[in-house]
Structure 1
């Protein structure tokens, strides 16, 4: 480590010459992810040379989370670590020629094994941490999307509005079904106002799934009011023989339903 510190500038220059693609991105990576690649390279080298595997793994896991959080390019990280490996071996060679410490091939191969094993431990720990943290971020985003796609809005202690906008496919209707029934139970809802004014198209299969949801809300003792049905959707429902009349009250607009319900309340 003393030799490497004494030759720190030469080490960095050689490392940057080895990492051709990464050296152009050093400032960008520092700006985006607050990752100082050169300082981190020296930290990694110290852990490798001192065979400090515990701290090396902690460092790798922290790096993995950072790169996952800021969506930094993995190919840059891989190129950087491989450049560090080559640079380290170059300076081992220089050090050996000044000190003449490696007396035989066995000693050399033992050194090679120890060094490369630690580099591989870093890479494995980094990628596992990156993958795990990325999965957590994706799951959190999926949960956020689910909540945003089924926005149940309380208007009174026993009444909620569910405004649906956009396209409803098999996946989304399943989320709607699960969340509606859960919220009826959790909030002890008596009335659910289902506003479909933001839905311009609906497949017959989705209509039938929606009827099942209305059956479920009724079974739980919750009244459903459907508002905002568009002419194109109504025509398709009539032709398919789908009817909400026995399962829910219908209103022309959400404003009318809210006005009627709030007056009653």
Structure 2
């Protein structure tokens, strides 16, 4: 039985010799992708046919490290340019079928595998490597997408914490919507940084627009108020609704030491402006 290295070189040479028929067969196997090859090239500078040849080279020559690195590169590129997993899966499976089609032709011509053991060994090697590529591709695609999602969410959350200066010494922070454990961290970061940058004396936090304040973040909110006080700034809370007050009281939270409370934002601004 020939070694996998020798078989790989024979398959590589055969595909190079029949490059045009190989590409024609590949395009016929990937009907949906073949019509989008130019669009994908223009959209993400991704040459599918060139990359198919690269993948096959790494697969049949057992270039494990290069294969994993290539899968990472491809996963990030497809995620960055919002190309769908459906197209990638169809393309790689078409590469698999086409590769085996030409391995079959080569075997008929030159009997490269010699025996059944050789066929099984070659099959396992090729399919395992293609699966390894797919697994690493999907892993890096998903990881990049998740990172982008978190960055976009952070940007949105920062925009949802607008600290509005109403005078040289007073700013207003109107909080709207639900406040979860992630958003409370954004609020803490932005509040303390803004106080440090602007050196305001009073921060009015209007809670009338809060739809929900999760119980486990109420304690974090108390810490924000303590931090505001430590920064030499006075915190004033307005718009406290009965349901929110009950939740705070039942949680054992008291704001008297770190913040002043007022009924409405309007009456507070009249006092401080």
Shorter-chain TM range is 0.7 to 0.9
Q: What secondary structure, in the 3-state scheme, does the structure 2 residue paired with 1:3 have?
A: helix
| 1:154-209 Cα distance to aligned partner (Å, 9 max, x none) | 799x857345375455568735652355336754844244486xx98555969xx6
1:66/1:256 CA distance change after superposition, 3 Å: farther
1:192/1:91 CA distance change after superposition, 3 Å: farther
TM-score when normalising by structure 2: 0.71
Question: Is there any run of 5+ residues in structure 1 with no aligned partner, and where?
Answer: 261-265
Q: Hey, what's the Cα distance between the residues in 1 that align with 2:185 and 2:260?
A: 20
Between the two proteins, the alignment pairs up a number of residues equal to 248
Q: Which residue of 2 aligns with 1:191?
A: 201
TM-score when normalising by structure 1: 0.73
Q: Hey, what's the Cα distance between the residues in 2 that align with 1:121 and 1:110?
A: 16
Question: Is there any run of 5+ residues in structure 2 with no aligned partner, and where?
Answer: 1-11, 247-254
- From 111, 120, 130, the equivalent of 1:100 is 111
Q: Hey, what's the Cα distance between the residues in 1 that align with 2:226 and 2:68?
A: 54
Are 1:179 and 2:193 an aligned pair? no
Q: Matches of residues 92-241 of structure 1 in structure 2 within 5 Å?
A: 92-152=103-163, 159=169, 161-164=171-174, 167-170=177-180, 174-175=184-185, 177-179=187-189, 182-183=192-193, 186-187=196-197, 189-194=199-204, 201-202=209-210, 217-218=228-229, 220-224=231-235
Aligned-pair CA distance for 1:21: 2.0
C-alpha contact 1:150 1:162 (8 A) present in aligned 2: no
C-alpha contact 2:175 2:210 (8 A) present in aligned 1: no
Q: What secondary structure, in the 3-state scheme, does the structure 2 residue paired with 1:11 have?
A: helix
Q: Which residue of 1 aligns with 2:250?
A: none
Q: What secondary structure, in the 3-state scheme, does the structure 1 residue paired with 2:34 have?
A: coil
Q: Hey, what's the Cα distance between the residues in 1 that align with 2:56 and 2:161?
A: 50
C-alpha contact 2:179 2:213 (8 A) present in aligned 1: no
**TM-align CA RMSD:** 4.0
Q: Which residue of 2 aligns with 1:56?
A: 67
Q: Which residue of 1 aligns with 2:42?
A: 31
Q: Hey, what's the Cα distance between the residues in 2 that align with 1:173 and 1:44?
A: 43
Q: Which residue of 2 aligns with 1:263?
A: none
C-alpha contact 1:191 1:225 (8 A) present in aligned 2: no
1:167/1:52 CA distance change after superposition, 3 Å: same
